[in-house]
C-alpha cells in the first residue's frame, strides 16, 4: 500500500547501517515477506473455501494442522503458485532497488547490465548485444511462466468466482 519510492531513503539508511549495501541481501530479504497484494489475493482465495468443510473435518476429529495440510493447502495451491510466479517475475525484473543498493559491477543484476549496455554504447548503440542480453533476461521468466501457466490461469479464474 505504501509505494517503494517513499521507503527508499529510510530503507537505504537501515541497510547501510547493517552493512547490506552492495550485497544482494537488500533485494532478497524484503521480498521474502511478500506484500499487501499477495495477502489480499490469498485472503480472497481463502474466503472461497466453505466453512462447512472445515467444520466437518473438525467434527470428524481432525486437528487444525491436519485440516490445513489435507483440505486448505490443496485448495490454495494454485493461488500460492500464481503468487510465487508473480513475485518471482517482479523480483527478477526489478530495476529501482538494484540501482539503489548495488554499486560494484560484480553484484549488479542482469537488468542493470542491460541498462549499462545502453548507456555505454549511447553513441553507437550495439542493438544485437542489447537484444541478446534482453533475451537472456527473458528466459527464466518465460520458463517459469510456461511451467506454471496452468496454475496462473486456474488461480486467476477461481479468485473472482465467489458466489
Task: Read off the pLDDT of residues 84-96 as tens digits, 9 standing for 90 and up.
Answer: 888 888 888 888 8
- Cell numbers that stand for 115 in this block: 541498462
What local confidence, expressed as pLDDT, does residue 75 receive?
A: 84
Mean local confidence (pLDDT), 62-85? 88
What local confidence, expressed as pLDDT, does residue 76 receive?
A: 86
SS3 content of the chain, % helix, strand, coil (to 5): 75, 0, 25
pTM: 0.74
Query: Mean pLDDT for the chain?
Result: 84
Mean local confidence (pLDDT), 7-13? 91
Nearest to 24 by CA among 110, 87, 85, 84: 110
**Choice between 158 and 61, residue whose per-residue pLDDT is larger:** 61
Report pLDDT digits (tens) over 114-161: 888 776 666 667 788 888 888 999 999 889 888 887 777 776 666 555
If one looks up domain 7-159 in CATH, what number appears? Answer: 1.10.3720.10
What local confidence, expressed as pLDDT, does residue 65 receive?
A: 94
CA distance 135 to 157: 30
Most confident by average pLDDT, 14-23, 104-113, 123-132: 14-23
Q: Is the pLDDT of residue 40 over 80?
A: yes
Contact 54, 125 (CB under 8 A): no
What local confidence, expressed as pLDDT, does residue 163 receive?
A: 43
What local confidence, expressed as pLDDT, does residue 124 receive?
A: 66
pLDDT band at 31 (very low <50, low <70, confident <90, very high): confident
Amino acid at each position: 500500500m505504501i509505494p517503494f519510492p517513499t521507503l527508499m531513503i529510510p530503507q537505504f539508511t537501515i541497510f547501510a547501517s547493517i552493512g547490506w549495501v552492495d550485497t544482494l541481501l537488500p533485494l532478497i530479504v524484503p521480498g521474502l515477506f511478500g506484500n499487501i497484494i499477495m495477502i489480499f489475493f490469498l485472503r480472497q482465495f481463502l474466503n472461497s473455501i466453505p466453512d462447512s468443510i472445515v467444520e466437518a473435518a473438525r467434527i470428524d476429529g481432525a486437528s487444525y494442522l491436519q485440516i490445513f495440510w489435507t483440505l486448505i493447502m490443496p485448495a490454495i495451491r494454485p493461488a500460492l503458485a500464481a503468487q510465487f510466479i508473480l513475485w518471482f517475475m517482479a523480483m527478477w525484473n526489478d530495476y529501482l532497488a538494484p540501482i539503489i543498493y548495488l554499486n560494484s559491477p560484480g553484484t549488479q543484476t542482469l537488468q542493470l547490465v542491460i541498462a549499462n549496455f545502453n548507456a555505454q554504447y549511447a553513441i553507437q548503440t550495439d542493438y544485437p548485444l542489447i537484444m541478446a542480453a534482453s533475451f537472456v533476461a527473458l528466459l527464466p521468466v518465460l520458463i517459469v511462466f510456461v511451467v506454471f501457466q496452468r496454475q496462473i490461469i486456474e488461480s486467476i479464474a477461481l479468485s473472482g468466482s465467489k458466489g
